[in-house]
Structure 1
Amino acid sequence: MTEAPSAPGATTRGRERPASEPPCYGALDLGTNNCRLLIATPQGAGGGFRVIEAYSRIVRLGEGLGQSGRLSEAAMERAMAALKVSAEKLRRRRVLRLRAIATQACRMAENGPEFIDRVFDETGLRLQIIAPQEEARLSVAGCLNLIDRTADAALVVDVGGGSTELSWVDLRGAAPAGMPPLRAWLSVPIGVVTLAERFPEGETATETWFRAMVDTMKGEIAAFRRADELREIFDADRAHLIGTSGAITSLAGLHLDLRRYERSRVDGIWMTRNDCDIAAGRLLAITARERAEQPCIGPDRADLVLAGAAILQAVQELWPCSRVRVADRGLREGILLSLMSDRGGRRRRRRRGGSRSVGVQ
């Protein structure tokens, strides 16, 4: 993570920010499907923050990666365009600290490190390719406020474009606030983009085609045994799921019959397992063009949303929960909370060590 505004031409170079000006923090997440940026200022003593700017663009960086093993030039150009927009927003907001991460597509791609260097050369943004374990931890941190502490366990499911992170959280005897124990985590190298590419839809979606996606995902999860100590809790329905991804929020929007996507109505909503099955069934019953016309799906996700529904169903069949909480939050929020929680210690270190310089990282 950077000490300074990691955007080209940052206007705070060489001087401290005025004390009267609230500090801005930035979190940038370049995934297999999306480029997402969140800029926020700390708010209150409880570790919260106020979002002052958010940006998201579907870039499909991992398109074709499963077949070629490389990021394509077209995919890199799409991602670079979004990253240049992000860099400009960071420059304009004069972000004090930024953490910019890249996930599965850059982890997998033979030319991932080369692309990271190119991003720095063209935008000044230094992306860090993070490990799956850290990706899972940050997703849980970003969803902490959505965990029902009256349950005995929770399973956070972060469905990305190129991978899915599952994090089993033990809530038995956990403190009413803060990070509860993470008993197990699993990163499956399958996300909505890779699954959709493995199972092209064809003319119409069918139950057989959808079932093949579900079974493929189940095959990746079923052999994982490190969370077995929590199995009894799930079997007794004393746990709940938290689902974070564009595909899952799209299912929630469909469930609510929203005429346009409204984050305030989707983030934190509880759905039953039956609600999820009904929403997936509605999507299976319509064409790809009709899915594209759904206001909470749109053309960019029309060919991916059923892959996301299949991943969620696979998890629900193996780790049954009657309740699912939908999260329109995750990695970026976890990054921001991590940056802001560290600001007190850094202020103390600066007082002991003197002034610091600020510049592009």
Structure 2
Amino acid sequence: MRLGVLDVGSNTVHLLVVDARRGGHPTPMSSTKEALRLAEAIDDSGKLTRKGADKLIATVGDFAKIAGSSGCSELLAFATSAVRDATNTEDVLARVFNETGVRLQVLSGRDESRLTFLAVRRWYGWSAGRIIDLDIGGGSLELSSGLDEEPEIALSLPLGAGRLTREWLSEDPPGRRRVGVLRDWLDNELAGPAKEVLAAGAPDLTVASSKTFRSLARLTGAAPSGAGPRVKRTLTASGLRQLISFISRMTTADRAELEGVSSERAPQIVAGALVAEASMRALSIETVDICPWALREGLILRKLDAEADGTALVETPVGDAGPRTAEPRAEQSKGGKR
């Protein structure tokens, strides 16, 4: 089966076309991205602006056409933090459906964490034992831990790289004092969630997923993406500390020149590095393995499982929003705050 996975994130809209079958390895066929920065299109009242919604609708319509011309039998379209947190989510979803015909589903933070963990578990297998996974997005940080495919702990915290850049690091480059204050604040925010994750059991393997962690690993010497997904990549706490000392003194333009850092990710890589460092410190982790699979792959795997056994695609009940697939505006998962 050929599937299109449309991921509407806080910064980027990403269409991944894959050939997938139950029991097989999803094979990527094409990848298309557009940087919309939806989180920056939220106004003071918490609404996604008309201009932001217009850009989203145009992009979803264009990507749906690409999925159709690529031979996709189905388009799995979902949105995460930016659309989830908007106060006019239902209105935006209605416009997306009415103007593009695409049913855009909003994932709760918990489902985002669960589906990412599923992808990580399938990548490493049962022999990995208990896995703790960290995933940094534009709007949120996901933490999960478990022995099975369903994590025992699945948390989503409002500590995304883009969110913290906007709220804390407006100067370019960010001031040393501001970086220090954010470090202290993150330590306080992560103390409780980290305690909850570790209470489930000591990990046999600690893993990091998401583009932010892949970029950080590359900047500290890991193999480039061109070496393929099966090359072992790691990120160490000591390497991360040295990296932060280096990139926090650089301008966004200079960071965009670094190998492994795109122009879209350059503004928020410092905040992402600080979240990664604080998460590893809170969990007493010195090294993480970088997993090439994350949320999109988890959604594909759950879709295949759901078709085989009739289970729900996501855990959180889906609200009735008329002709589109939607969900009541998600509350923050365990440990977080609005």
Amino acid at match of 2:210: S
RMSD: 2.7
Q: 1:67 to 1:264 in 2, by over 3 A?
A: farther
Amino acid at match of 1:76: A
TM-score of the two chains, using structure 1 as the length reference: 0.77
Q: 1:24 to 1:314 in 2, by over 3 A?
A: same
In 2, the alpha carbon distance for the partners of 1:308 and 1:216 equals: 14
Q: Give a deviation string over 1:155-190, Cα, whole Å, max 9, x none.
A: 2112111111111223xxx6xxxx2x5121211122
C-alpha contact 1:37 1:332 (8 A) present in aligned 2: no
Q: How high is the sequence identity, in percent, across the aligned residues?
A: 24
Q: 1:264 to 1:79 in 2, by over 3 A?
A: farther
> How do 1:18-167 residues align onto structure 2 when only pairs under 5 Å count?
23-42=1-20, 46-63=23-40, 65=42, 67-147=44-124, 152-167=129-144
Query: Is 1:194 the equivalent of 2:159?
Result: no
In 2, the alpha carbon distance for the partners of 1:188 and 1:133 equals: 10
5+ residue gaps, structure 2: 311-323, 326-338
SS of the residue 1:69 aligns to: coil
Q: Structure 2 residue aligned with 1:296, among 256, 260, 268?
A: 260
Q: 1:57 to 1:310 in 2, by over 3 A?
A: same
In 2, the alpha carbon distance for the partners of 1:263 and 1:121 equals: 42
TM-score of the two chains, using structure 2 as the length reference: 0.82
Task: Quote the offset at 1:80 in angstroms.
Answer: 2.8
Which residue pairs with 1:242 in the alignment? Answer: 207
Task: Quote the offset at 1:131 in angstroms.
Answer: 1.4
Q: 1:265 to 1:65 in 2, by over 3 A?
A: same
Q: Give a deviation string over 1:68-109, Cα, whole Å, max 9, x none.
A: 411123333333333223101111123223321111112211
Amino acid at match of 1:141: L
Q: 1:157 to 1:95 in 2, by over 3 A?
A: same
Task: Quote the offset at 1:138 in angstroms.
Answer: 0.7
Q: Give the count of matched residue pairs.
A: 311
Q: Structure 1 residue aligned with 2:245, among 271, 276, 281?
A: 281
5+ residue gaps, structure 1: 1-22, 347-359
Q: 1:329 to 1:58 in 2, by over 3 A?
A: farther
Amino acid at match of 1:25: L
Query: Is 1:227 the equivalent of 2:204?
Result: no
C-alpha contact 1:66 1:194 (8 A) present in aligned 2: no
In 2, the alpha carbon distance for the partners of 1:86 and 1:340 equals: 22
Which residue pairs with 1:3 in the alignment? Answer: none
C-alpha contact 2:6 2:14 (8 A) present in aligned 1: yes
Task: Quote the offset at 1:148 in angstroms.
Answer: 7.4
Which residue pairs with 1:215 in the alignment? Answer: 184
